[in-house]
Amino acid sequence: MPDLPDVSEGQRPSADWTNALKEIACHEHTGAIGYSDDEQTVIPIFSDDPLDLYELTGAPVLDDTAREYKATAKPCIRRVSAIDGDGHVTGVGTLGSDPTRWIISPTALDETIWFPAGNRDTNGEPLAAPTVTTGDRVWTTDVYSERVVVAVPRSGGIPFRNDSGEEAPAFALMAVTGIGTDDNDNWFLKIDKPDTTFRRAYMVNGSGAIADSGATGGSQGRCYDGSDGPVKVLYDTGTPAIAEGFGAKPGQWTASKNYPCCLDVFGDYDNTDKIMVARLHPILKIIGKLAGALSEGSSATVNVWNGAGGSEAVISSLTLTGYDWLLASGADDIASGKKVVVEWINGVPYITAAECA
């Protein structure tokens, strides 16, 4: 920031001093840009008074979602006396830019200020942290107090918010739990890490990791449902081969072979980072065993199984409710423990095949 010469008490500012003040007031006010990626651009909003001074009440910390350093601070007020010709104090003036002439306003509340980053690394993180810390003072030519996040329009993808309680990695397979709306009434999907709640619909995250939202705020990223074509998606182990089926495994973001199929593999994209290319679709069928007897026209709990060709196994705690569409009036119940096939017809999980007695 350009140096501004101090003005002695009782001295009238010169024209040069005024011009220097104008230069500082405009210094870099159009050049500082917040975090920007293919999903969003952050627009800094600077103070109306570019010569406001803040004193930090906390050290700068990196906001992982905003990819910008922020700190708590309080605004300062100027402490300068006006002197008459006899050397008497006649009031408080506003001359001088030396920070020692400023004090924290006695009624000031903590505010959040942001430090625009210059160069960034390949992950979009600032290469260097601010050099100031608690107790230091910064001019508003170097920080900004408000941010506006503008979503970047894209031809594909669906906005979502990560409510999982942890970071969702790039290309994660994500469970859809519902929808939400932001303050502008724009809707987004709520997603979670796959768990033991059976769901048919899964989405795949885009190319950037998305931090946990704390179940607050609007959308954070964009996910994909396969309608735009095949997707890149994480898998857990092995080498996926064309036409193999993968699905969500409780407790992990990575797809797993022979779990309830929502991914038809096209090929292995990166065996080191475990990324494959696949077609994403809703789960259409599952295999399992009845956890209770199924009578004509009723329903029963089904324990969901995974595996293929002689290596099938129950998936611990993963169940769904299946409905009868097989039994004739008066027919015997299908006993608990029998193998069944469940298909979704008109959105209903009907039991369409069952183990013979």
CATH number of the domain bearing residue 312: 2.40.50
Q: How many domains does the chain have?
A: 3
Do 60 and 131 touch, CB atoms closer than 8 A?
no
What's the CA gap between 47 and 221, in Å, rounded?
A: 29
| pTM of this structure | 0.58
Would you state the pLDDT for residue 41? 60
DSSP assignment letter at 195: -
337 shares a domain with 271: no
**Does residue 319 share a domain with residue 296?**
yes
Query: Are the CB atoms for 182 and 219 separated by under 8 Å?
Result: yes
Q: Are residues 213 and 251 in the same domain?
A: yes
Residues 106 and 32 in one domain: yes
In this structure, how many other beta carbons lie within 10 angstroms of the beta carbon of residue 290?
22
Whether 2 is covered by a domain: the verdict is no
Whether residues 179 and 273 share a domain: the answer is yes
In a domain, 1, yes or no: no
Domain that includes residue 194, residue range: 158-280
Residues 203 and 218 in one domain: yes
Distances, alpha carbon 173 to alpha carbons 59, 200, 245, 339, 352, in Å: 36, 12, 14, 28, 28
Cα→Cα distances 266→82, 100, 205, 282, Å: 78, 67, 18, 17
How many residues belong to the chain? 357
Residue 335 lies in a domain: yes
Residue labelled with tokens 């303050």: 183
- DSSP symbols for 40-108: EEEEEE--SSTT-EEEESS--EEETTTTEEEEEEEEEEE-EEEE-TTS-EEEEE-----GGGEEE-TT-
Asked if residue 117 lies in contact with residue 42, where contact means CB atoms within 8 angstroms, the answer is no
Look at residues 125, 151, 177 and tell me which one is the last residue of a structural domain. Answer: 151
Q: Provide the 10 A C-beta neighbour count for residue 235.
A: 25
Spatial distance between the Cα atoms of 348 and 82, rounded to a whole number of angstroms: 81
Q: Per-10-residue mean pLDDT for the chain, 357 residues long?
A: 47 51 45 51 59 87 80 80 56 50 78 81 79 89 70 66 93 95 88 96 91 84 89 96 96 97 96 95 95 96 91 95 93 94 96 87
SS3 state at 26: helix
- The reply to whether 4 falls in a domain is no
| Residue 346 falls inside a structural domain | yes
Answer whether 263's CB lies under 8 Å from 245's CB.
yes
Whether 205 and 275 share a structural domain:
yes
The answer as to whether 235 is a domain residue is: yes
52, 145: one domain? yes
In a domain, 45, yes or no: yes
**Two tokens at 251?**
């407790």
Largest separation between any pair of C-alpha atoms in the chain: 113
Handedness of CA 133, 138, 141, 143 (dihedral sign): positive
Q: What per-residue confidence (pLDDT) applies to 37?
A: 54
**304 in Cβ contact with 274 (< 8 Å):** no
The reported pLDDT for the residue numbered 40 is 56
Q: How far is CA 85 from CA 63, 92, 169, 298, in A?
A: 52, 15, 69, 99
- Determine the Cα–Cα distance for residues 187 and 248; give it in Å rounded to an integer: 25
Query: What does the alpha-carbon distance between residue 84 and residue 38 come to, in Å, rounded to a whole number?
Result: 59
What pLDDT shows up at residue 23? Answer: 52
Residue 32: which residues within 8 A CB-CB, separation 6 or more? 44, 116, 144
260 domain residue, yes or no: yes
pLDDT of residue 114: 87
How far apart, in whole angstroms, are the C-alpha atoms of residue 136 and residue 294? 72
Q: Hey, is 20 helix, strand or coil?
A: helix
